[in-house]
Amino acid sequence: MADEPPLSAQSSLDQAEIDRLLAQESVAAAPRQHFVCANGERPPAGASLKVETYDFRNPVFLSEVELRRLRILHEDFIRYLSARLSLFLRMELTLKMSKLTTSTYAKFTESLPSPTHLCLFKAEPLLGVGILDINPRLALSIADRLLGGRGHSVKAERYLTEIEIALLEDVIQIILEEWCAQWKSEQELHGQILGHENNGRFLQTSPKDAIVLTLSLEVNFGDCAEPIQIGVPYYTIEPLVKKMQARRQKDANVTPPARNQEWQASYDPIEVPLRAEWQPYELSLREITSLRVGDVLELSASHLQETTLLLNGTPKFTGTVGLDTDRVAIKISRQFAPVENRHA
């Protein structure tokens, strides 16, 4: 049995020192992170950075402020559309926004149910093709109401016939007109129906990685409660979003026109005390007490050119004193600035 080495005398470490050593070791072992700004340059040392996670599989090109403005815009669209469809169908129809999000075109088409009814539309003169997804049960209930029925919910899930599609086009045209009308402050648009499909798996109206703005609505029509989705490529509405941003920026930077000052006749009888002053030199208190009646104080000619004119005790002008026939007059040379008035 080998002899054990003798224990060396050393001071024991407390728990605080052990935690400090472990923390230093973990910091030294951690990989060093490098940050690069959007312009390709590294931020200065000590700059406060706010790093947020970004999902490249679900990119978002709209900020929170822009998405909020679009949500307000679509809430007005939903309110007007609900009233117009109720008048057209002569039966109450309520709409409620369930979500307004952005996703890729591939993800949007994969989320479409089957069977369903899809309407391909275009908003002239914008580029791109939009998709309107209507649940078949809701479409059949609307078609039943247009044929004189009571609008009860149809339980069957099937594809629509050509006659039912033709009846539904009137409702779809109203939806497109109201959707285009919400952009009238930016540009005049005209909705046009391009065709109908019953399966979103084979659609190729946009690239798979194109960003789509998706509006999901909850429709209550009689005893039928089914969804409607409107998907529009972002490159279609991008010119309208830019115009909306430019208009709001212009409205925010507009300054109110300056109000011209006009003389009012009611100002005529107002009297303002007028006084002229000089500040030629300073006298000691002894010299002031020694002044007597008849003493003469000499003033140089330069002092007469720096006469301060006070209106109601406030310095307003500087001028030169002179004689005008038998009267003493002051020729105004400049006006005091507001800052100079406060100092005076």
The CA-atom distances, in angstroms, between 152 and each of 84, 86, 94, 166, 196 are 20, 15, 15, 20, 24
Cβ atoms within 10 Å of 143's Cβ, excluding its own: 21
Residue 305 lies in a domain: yes
Q: How many domains is the chain built from?
A: 2
Whether this model's pTM surpasses 0.85: no
Give how far the C-alpha of residue 303 lies from the chain's centroid of Cα atoms, to the nearest Å: 59
Residue 44 lies in a domain: no
Domain co-membership, 197 together with 279: no
- Give the CATH number, domain containing residue 122: 3.40.1550.10
Domain co-membership, 202 together with 96: yes
- pLDDT tens digits for 17-32? 777 777 666 545 545 5
- Write out the residue range of the structural domain in which residue 221 sits: 64-250
Domain co-membership, 199 together with 112: yes
Residue 227 lies in a domain: yes
Domain co-membership, 113 together with 182: yes
- pLDDT tens digits for 310-337? 888 888 888 888 887 778 888 888 887 7
Strands 130-134 and 93-104, bridge-based pairing: unpaired
pLDDT tens per residue across all 344 residues of the chain: 445 445 444 445 667 777 777 766 654 554 556 677 767 777 777 777 776 665 555 555 566 777 788 888 899 999 999 999 999 999 999 999 998 888 889 899 988 988 889 999 999 999 899 999 999 999 999 998 998 888 787 777 788 889 999 999 999 999 999 999 989 888 899 999 999 998 888 888 888 888 899 999 999 988 888 999 999 998 898 888 888 888 877 777 766 666 677 778 887 788 888 888 877 777 788 888 888 888 887 777 777 778 888 888 888 888 888 887 778 888 888 887 765 554 45
Residue 174 lies in a domain: yes
Q: How confident is the model at residue 343, as a pLDDT? A: 47
Domain co-membership, 219 together with 276: no
Domain co-membership, 170 together with 307: no
Residue 334 lies in a domain: yes
Q: How far apart are CA 286 and CA 184, in angstroms?
A: 84
